[in-house]
Structure 1
Amino acid sequence: MIIVTRLDGRHFAVNPDLIARIFESPDTILVMADGARFIVTEPMAEVIEKIASFRAQVISVAYNDAPGPAKRSSHLSIIHPADPSGPITGGQ
């Protein structure tokens, strides 16, 4: 969740995965996937930075909680199909 501020100064948390669009004209408006709209005091760039930081934190927590070998890898890898010995085929 990210914390944003209403025009009256109250803070609230919003799930960034449910934000469909962000407008800035001049107020910043968050349009949610269900159509709800929230006007917030933060500029659009700050909201986007909060979303990026939230997602980086989620990845960091997942990485740090990963068992053994996954922690030693410094890059992301592809998740292979259920049968790792079989060839990976494209959509033919």
Structure 2
Amino acid sequence: MITLTKLNGEEFILNCDLIETVLGNPDTVITLTNGRKMIVKETPGEVTDKVLEFRRKIFTGLFNTQG
């Protein structure tokens, strides 16, 4: 899950597993697997960075378990 910002400034949390495409045109448009489109303030690069950070946290947690 990543936090993004709508054009009106409202923050929301998106399940990044649902992202199909991210285009900057000039606004960033995220198309989800269900066909819904979302326009956000973040650049495509920022969206990508947030997804990568989220995935790193998941994988780090999986491989660094103690017990």
Q: What interval of TM-score do these two structures reach, taking the shorter chain for normalisation?
A: over 0.9
Question: TM-score when scaled to structure 2?
Answer: 0.94
Aligned equivalent of 2:23: 23
Going by fraction, where is strand more abundant, 1 or 2? 2
Q: How many residues align?
A: 67
Output one character per residue of 1:7-66: Cα deviation in whole Å (capped at 9) or x when no partner.
000000111111000010000011000001100000000000000000000001111226
Once superposed, which parts of structure 1, at least 4 consecutive aligned residues long, lie more than 2 Å away? none
Higher RCO by CA contacts (8 Å cutoff, separation 6 or greater): 2
Question: TM-score when scaled to structure 1?
Answer: 0.70
Question: CA separation in 1, counterparts of 2:9 and 2:29?
Answer: 15
Q: Which runs of 5+ in 2 are unaligned?
A: none
Specify the structure having the higher radius of gyration (Cα): 1
Question: CA separation in 1, counterparts of 2:26 and 2:66?
Answer: 43
Q: Which runs of 5+ in 1 are unaligned?
A: 68-92
RMSD between aligned alpha carbons?
Answer: 1.0
Letter in 2 for 1:19: I
Letter in 2 for 1:39: I
